[in-house]
Structure 1
Amino acid sequence: MEEYNLQEIRIEDYNIIKEYYQMRRPETADSNILDLYIWLNCYPTWYFTNDKGLMWVAKSEDGQYYSSIPCCKDEDLKECFLETQKYFNEVLQKKLVMYVVDKAAVDLLQLPEDEYVVVPDRTYADYVYDAEKLRTFSGKKYHKKKNHLNAFKREYEGRYEFKFLSKKDEPEILAFLEDWKKHKSDTEEHEFIDSEAVGIKYILEHEEVFDYKIGAVYVDNKLEAFTIGNYESKEDMVYIPVEKANPEIRGLYPYICSQFLIEAFPEAGKENREDDMGLEGLRKSKLSYNPIYMVEKYTIIQK
């Protein structure tokens, strides 16, 4: 263990880790450093580095170790991949399992079929959208969305307001999440929402470190929707790790989706709204916003 100098992910190391994240930008939610910190309480993760990149070691709830694609330059990917494998084989005494690997990485690695199984995983494919289309909902494909949006504006005219939120609004955000949870009946989803709330609390408490924006919609002076996003200039991409709205208010989801881009990222070209986790309802919703493409992801298993 000492040889690899395995590190815990700390807020003090944010700028160091971010430098590694910038070495390769595969357009995945998993390459968004904000996601790393939001979900740290849910997916315990460590890292080690060499002179080429940063390698991951993570542990699932059932005690299984896994990794994700190293943060390094394209030309160093194979070397860092093999370094990760070496850690799994020699230190953990386990075969390497690597999740949410982008297709570009799979193509770069060119792994031999007799040594690895490479499996596509639709569950974790990210949805990428034309940001201008989401600002305007113009065109035939967005007719239904535009109708819902206009219905919201008509019904709540003079009663709604878009605002930016910050650390000082933490109690209100967490209270909203607790209330939003009531719309979900599944116990597993409740646990997921609770973990997400812990992560949101964490990034709020360290807002001076992170580069993100929180947009919110108030209806009758009550918080009814909020979203968190950050921008990566290399891809001209807005990433949306969190978006929540009162589902009983028609058109509120399209409104916050559109208005947040207008107010927070008016010039951005694309938006990554992450994966659907294999949930049928979420998949239907994300497809209804008409993605321009999907970012495919794979699982790599050492034989």
Structure 2
Amino acid sequence: MNFEHFIKKEMEPQDYDILLPYFKMRYSHTCENILVSNFMWKDYYHTHYIRDDHGLIWLMEVDDQPVTMVPVCAKEDLKHYFDVAEAYFNEVLHSKLTVCLADKEAVELLDLDHEKYDILTVRDYYDYVYDAEKLRTFSGKAYHKKKNHLNAFKKAYEGRYEYRSLSCGCHHDEIMAFLRKWEAQRDLEDPFHRDEYELNGIDYLLSNCGYLDYKMGGIYIDGELQAFSLGVYGKVEKMAVIHVEKANPDIRGLYPMICQQFLCHEFPDAELVNREDDMGLEGLRKSKMSYNPIYLEEKYEIRQK
């Protein structure tokens, strides 16, 4: 296959406005369909891309092996760009095609031959999707515990806390200082060091906010930042995608507080909330389930045999 007409390059912040239209060609409810997320994790996956006028193909690495995600294009072009990706992997990278984090609709649209491809569901990377209004109100029996924690926080810190919308220009250093402190408090054990890459990715977003589009907010107690969230809103899907949510783990009720307030102030029109996956971490899975998702967005891995 001739790839001469494709543009190949590493992701850079100034590419945002060029790449964003591709993400409007087909809407999926996975967090991978949000361009900001791909910028945030670009160093973790060593992300590059090739593109022409009608489709975008990711070039990434996992464990030093080339992988990709579902091509970003219109539904009717998906099979074509899947074939382009496969040819690029086979002919240029001299590797079999591996597609990570494929959404269910894409798998159904591709309708691949199981004699030629292994298609595996990956539970660790299912996204958790919630009713936005429930998270803005925590109403109903299912949210009784969350409401109790929230009320305990409000009572304990009455007159001492406030929510603030944040901007990267004014709050970059403050946010990163809070996140580094949060990281030290949590003492996370992740053999893949995703927490370290996540914080570096947030720093990258903050450093390049002039090019990128996202919302941020925080809870302050006695004037000090104690909880932080960052997300993006998809108008067509009416879905808020929460890429980052961190809070002082020693303060009861602070996590539901930042969850609620961030949605109320930054995404009041959202009907759905995607709070991303749990990465297979037991504690994170328990936490995400405690917010009562209305469904899990399935994801798959496609491997060329």
| TM class, shorter-length | over 0.9
Name 1:223's counterpart in structure 2. Answer: 225
Specify the alignment match of 2:144 in structure 1.
143
Contact 1:45–1:58 under 8 Å retained in 2? yes
1:59 corresponds in structure 2 to 61
Show structure 1 runs of 4+ deviating over 4 A. Answer: none
Residue 109 of structure 2 corresponds to 108
Secondary structure of 1:278's match? coil
**Structure 1 counterpart SS, 2:45:** coil
Instruction: Give identity over the alignment, percent.
Output: 50
Aligned-residue offset at 1:74: 0.5
Whole-angstrom distance in 2 between the partners of 1:7 and 1:18 = 16
User: Which amino acid in 2 is paired with 1:180?
Assistant: W
Partner of 1:242: 244
Partner of 1:262: 264
Q: Shift in Å at residue 22 of structure 1?
A: 1.0
Cα shift at 1:29: 0.4
Q: One-letter code of the match for 1:152?
A: F
d(CA) in 1 for partners of 2:20, 2:129: 22
CA distance in 2, matches of 1:159, 1:134: 23
- Asked if residue 33 in structure 1 is aligned to residue 35 in structure 2, the reply is yes
> 2:161 corresponds to which residue?
160
- Point out the more displaced range, 189-198 or 145-154: 189-198
The answer as to 2:155 corresponding to 1:133 is no
Contact between 1:184 and 1:190, CA under 8 Å: does it hold in 2? no
Q: Which residue matches 1:206?
A: 208
CA distance in 2, matches of 1:216, 1:184: 18
User: Distance between the aligned counterparts of 1:189 and 1:230, measured in 2?
Assistant: 28
Q: TM-score, normalised by structure 2?
A: 0.96
Query: Aligned to 1:235, what secondary structure does the other structure show?
Result: coil
TM superposition score normalised by structure 1:
0.96
Q: 1:275 aligns with which of 274, 277, 280?
A: 277
**Distance (Å, rounded) in 2 between the aligned partners of 1:243 and 1:51:** 35
Cα displacement (A) at 1:276: 0.3
Quick one: structure 1 residues 187 and 122, their matched pair in 2 at CA, closer, same or farther if it must change by over 3 Å? closer
Q: CA deviation at 1:185?
A: 2.9
CA distance 1:110–1:2, change in 2 (3 Å): closer
Q: What is the deviation of 1:299? A: 0.1
1:234 alignment partner, SS class: coil
Q: Which residue of 1 aligns with 2:118?
A: 117
In the alignment, which residue of structure 2 is the partner of 1:284? 286
SS at match of 1:208: coil
Aligned Cα RMSD in Å?
A: 1.4
SS at match of 1:231: strand
**Alpha-carbon distance in structure 2 between the residues aligned to 1:211 and 1:7:** 21
Do 2:129 and 2:272's aligned partners in 1 also have CA atoms closer than 8 Å? yes
Q: Who is 1:74 aligned against?
A: 75
Task: Could you tell me which runs of 5 or more consecutive residues in structure 1 were left unpaired when the two chains were aligned.
Answer: none
Distance 2:9 2:192 in 1: 30
Q: Distance in 1 between matches of 2:101 and 2:197?
A: 20
Q: 1:18 Cα shift?
A: 0.5
Shift of 1:189: 6.8
Q: Secondary structure at the match of 1:188?
A: coil
Question: What amino acid sits opposite 1:119 in the alignment?
Answer: L
The code of the aligned residue for 1:200 comes to I
How far, CA to CA, are the matches of 2:133 and 2:293 in structure 1?
Answer: 12
CA deviation after TM superposition for structure 1 residue 285, in Å: 0.4
> How far apart are residue 206 of structure 1 and its match?
2.0
Give deviations 1:103-142, integer Å, cap 9, x for gaps.
Answer: 0000000100110000000011000101000000000000
SS of equivalent residue, structure 1 residue 6? strand
